């Protein structure tokens, strides 16, 4: 059986695509590599922020569902998303940057012997930077070369997701027996699992949490998390595997930028398996990634209708020079 290769992307919900674009571009220095719409709700933007070329394992994506209420954090949710930075020194840089831009953070702490820095955005979306200083395993991406963050400190990809779950034993079985993760560390109620080559890019932090109410999805919360598979053939292997365990799945879904399978593996937890390709470079040049509204071929005939229904967001960056500071 081909193992999962690690994190592919995390998709969350924002109250404002505009503010979300500003935060990820100008504060976090991640590159908008695709401005498209939710393929299941074409009046809703779907923004993809990633490394310099939109590599699998580096992207954080957002829906902005109109009129959705704010979510609440609790148990049975993908609680926090983490991003990889190259060194411990990078975290010192980010503390100063967050202070400069009034980003709420908790200072540098340690989690499973890795230095981390937790912070939130304007929606109370939960994030964490994790240092790759002593990391081994899945390689990270390449930081946005023309972004505002010095390359030696810049975000390079996704680190572990942090899941809070009430029925820990069941979730552990799904991770280990179905998804082939292995538990490698434990600290009280928090457990660390990894898959494939392991390391920060292929780990899941699971917190056994029974004293909080059920998390409620809305803006400021994560919608789902996706894990990497090599290609279409491997994805179909995993579809058969998930079905053999009786897990509910979407079956095969072609998202154009990648191919997918969705499964609600536990109460409140939606996981996706996604292929590494084709990726985001097929319909736009490297220089202008994310600057136009990109639509998959099956939505292209509806372009005029979609462009009328979604508000315009100026995402042109190729004409701008960012000062790295």
The average confidence (pLDDT) of the chain is: 97
27-75 pLDDT per residue, tens? 999 999 999 999 998 989 999 999 999 999 999 999 999 899 999 999 9
All residues at 6 or more sequence positions from 81 whose CB lies less than 8 Å from its CB, including other chains: 10, 12, 60, 125, 126, 127, 128, 158, 161, 162, 222, 225
CA distance 195 to 201: 9
Instruction: Identify the burial level of 62 via C-beta atoms within 10 angstroms of its C-beta, where 0-12 means exposed, 13-18 middle and 19 or more buried.
Output: buried
Quote the percentage of the chain above a pLDDT of 70: 100
Kindly report the CATH number assigned to the domain that includes residue 26. 3.10.180.10
- What pLDDT is stored for residue 268 in this prediction? 85
5-28 pLDDT per residue, tens? 999 999 999 999 999 999 999 999
- What pLDDT is stored for residue 38 in this prediction? 95
Residue 236 included in any domain: no
- What pLDDT is stored for residue 167 in this prediction? 97
Beta partners for residue 109, in sequence order = 116
- What pLDDT is stored for residue 305 in this prediction? 94
258-278 pLDDT per residue, tens? 999 999 999 889 999 999 999
* Enclosing domain of residue 194: 7-219+277-309
162-212 pLDDT per residue, tens? 999 999 999 999 999 999 999 999 999 999 999 999 999 999 999 999 999
298-313 pLDDT per residue, tens? 999 999 999 999 999 9
- What pLDDT is stored for residue 186 in this prediction? 98
Residue 265 included in any domain: no
Residue 269 included in any domain: no
Average the pLDDT over 213-238 and give the result. 98
pTM of the model: 0.98
- What pLDDT is stored for residue 267 in this prediction? 87
- What pLDDT is stored for residue 66 in this prediction? 86
Residue 65 included in any domain: yes
Residue 239 included in any domain: no
How many structural domains is the chain composed of?
A: 1
- What pLDDT is stored for residue 225 in this prediction? 98
Res 82 pLDDT > 90: yes
Residue 128 included in any domain: yes
Residue 85 included in any domain: yes
CA distance 37 to 198: 32
**Complete DSSP assignment for 274-309:** EEEEE-S-SSS-GGGTTSSB---TTTGGGHHHHHHH
Contact 196, 4 (CB under 8 A): yes
Average the pLDDT over 286-308 and give the result. 96
Average the pLDDT over 214-242 and give the result. 98
Residue 262 included in any domain: no
């Amino acid at each position: 059986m081909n193992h999962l290769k690690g994190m592919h992307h995390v998709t969350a919900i924002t109250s404002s695509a505009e503010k979300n674009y500003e935060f990820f571009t100008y504060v976090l220095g991640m590159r908008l590599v695709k401005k498209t719409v939710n393929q299941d709700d074409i009046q809703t933007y779907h923004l993809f922020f990633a490394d310099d070329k939109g590599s699998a394992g580096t992207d954080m994506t957002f829906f902005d569902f109109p009129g959705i209420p704010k979510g609440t954090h609790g148990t049975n949710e993908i609680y926090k998303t983490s991003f990889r930075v190259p060194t411990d020194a990078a975290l010192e840089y980010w503390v100063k940057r967050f202070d400069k831009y009034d980003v709420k953070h908790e200072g540098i702490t340690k989690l499973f012997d890795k230095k981390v820095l937790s912070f939130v955005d304007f929606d109370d979306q939960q994030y964490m930077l994790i240092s790759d200083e002593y990391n081994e395993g899945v390689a990270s991406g390449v930081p946005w070369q023309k972004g505002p963050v010095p390359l030696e400190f810049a975000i390079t990809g996704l680190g572990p997701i942090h899941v809070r779950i009430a029925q820990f034993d069941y979730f552990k079985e799904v991770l280990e027996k179905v998804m082939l993760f292995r538990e490698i560390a434990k600290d009280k109620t928090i457990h660390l699992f990894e898959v494939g080559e392991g390391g920060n890019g292929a780990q899941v932090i699971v917190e056994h949490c029974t004293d909080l109410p059920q998390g409620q999805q809305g803006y400021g919360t994560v919608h789902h998390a996706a894990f990497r598979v090599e290609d279409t053939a491997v994805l179909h292997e995993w579809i058969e595997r998930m079905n053999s365990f009786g897990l509910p799945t979407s079956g095969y879904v072609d998202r154009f930028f990648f191919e997918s399978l969705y499964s609600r593996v536990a109460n409140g937890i939606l996981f996706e398996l996604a292929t590494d390709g084709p990726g985001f470079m097929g319909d736009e040049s490297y220089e202008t990634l994310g600057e136009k509204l990109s639509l998959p071929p099956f939505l292209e005939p509806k372009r005029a209708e979609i462009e009328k229904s979604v508000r315009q967001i100026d995402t042109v960056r190729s004409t701008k020079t960012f000062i790295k500071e």
